[in-house]
Amino acid sequence: MATIISFVSQKGGVGKTTSAINLATAFAFGGYSVLMVDLDPQSSIRFSMGVQNNVSRGTQELFLDPEMPMSDLIQETGQENMEFIFSNVETLENERAVLEIGANATHLLERINEVSDQYDFIVIDAPSSTNNMAINAIYASDLIILPLQCENLAIKSLKRFLRSFNELKSIFPNKDLRLAGILLTMFDRKLEIHRRIGQQIYKALSDSVFETIIPRNEAIVESSALGKSVITYNLSTIGATAYIRLMNELVDKFDLR
Ligand SMILES: Nc1ncnc2c1ncn2[C@@H]1O[C@H](COP(=O)(O)OP(=O)(O)OP(=O)(O)O)[C@@H](O)[C@H]1O
Ligand SMILES: [Mg+2]
């Protein structure tokens, strides 16, 4: 059975998609087989992987067409060890229908279970929300990663996340929801505010914060614009090495080998 990892945050633009793609690529690079699932209707994973054309089968069918086997929704992009279920929810009407089915928090996990034994890791990119999609992602996961940018509202959004997370734990007492860690992203050590907020977070929650910090790195922006992960774009950049380090930390911390 695959280990299912999702990137969640109620706050937008914190590096969920970037981190999901690069952690998944790091796993694939390390020889693990990976399925990426994009639950965000923005379809960012598809664009970040350079897939321009619309996909006819994806998360829409995952939610709205339970008769269609999961294996029919899986796409390849030529990347070794990596497969994808892209988001293809285009209209508001379909988005509403998908969210309605998603009111059953176990839906995604039940669907993933159809293919889970074919992969080592399943990495889910969730929308910036606590909507039914995000809850499906959290429910499906063995491990949850919260990307966080060390800016003014970071502590507030962290507290809000921890409150929501504890609430979900009490709603699903039979499910062992596990926070793998808080991942500091786009970190710029030259900025006093990043250093200060980073220190505050480590002081308050040290065990729950990854030692690996993702630096602000131009190569990450460039690679995304070219439809690639930073790891396939240029392995010698500080962005790529940070994500490889994150993979190693995660594998060690949770004994995932
Ligand atoms: N380490 C980094 N260095 C520089 N830029 C980064 C880094 N990580 C992410 N970015 C850029 O920051 C922006 C937001 O990142 P990303 O899309 O991964 O966040 P998100 O949390 O998925 O956003 P959304 O809430 O819209 O889904 C993107 O333009 C991305 O290229
Ligand atoms: Mg995103």
Each residue's pLDDT tens digit, 208-235: 999 999 999 999 999 999 999 999 999 9
Distance 33 CA to ligand 2 centre (A): 22
Q: In what order do the strands lie in the sheet with 82-85?
A: 75-76, 82-85, 34-38, 121-125, 3-7, 143-149, 179-185
Range of the domain at 94: 3-253
The response to whether residue 40 sits with its C-beta less than 6 Å from ligand 1 reads: yes
Distance 53 CA to ligand 1 centre (A): 22
Residue-wise pLDDT tens digits, 107-139? 999 999 999 999 999 999 999 999 999 999 999
Choosing from 146, 221, 228 the residue with most ligand 1 atoms within 8 A of its CB, the one to mutate for a pocket test is: 221
CATH number at residue 211: 3.40.50.300
- For the chain, what is the mean pLDDT? 96
The count of other CB atoms within 10 Å of the CB of residue 190 is 7
Into how many domains does the chain fold? 1
The count of other CB atoms within 10 Å of the CB of residue 113 is 15
Q: Where residue 190 falls among pLDDT bands split at 50, 70, 90?
A: very high
What's the CA gap between 130 and 253, in Å, rounded?
27
Beta strands in the chain (DSSP E): 3-7, 34-38, 75-76, 82-85, 121-125, 143-149, 179-185
Q: Where residue 2 falls among pLDDT bands split at 50, 70, 90?
A: very high
Percent of the chain with pLDDT over 90: 95
Between the CA of residue 35 and those of 78, 121, 123, 185, 247, what are the distances in Å? 13, 7, 6, 23, 15
Chain position carrying tokens 């997370």: 165
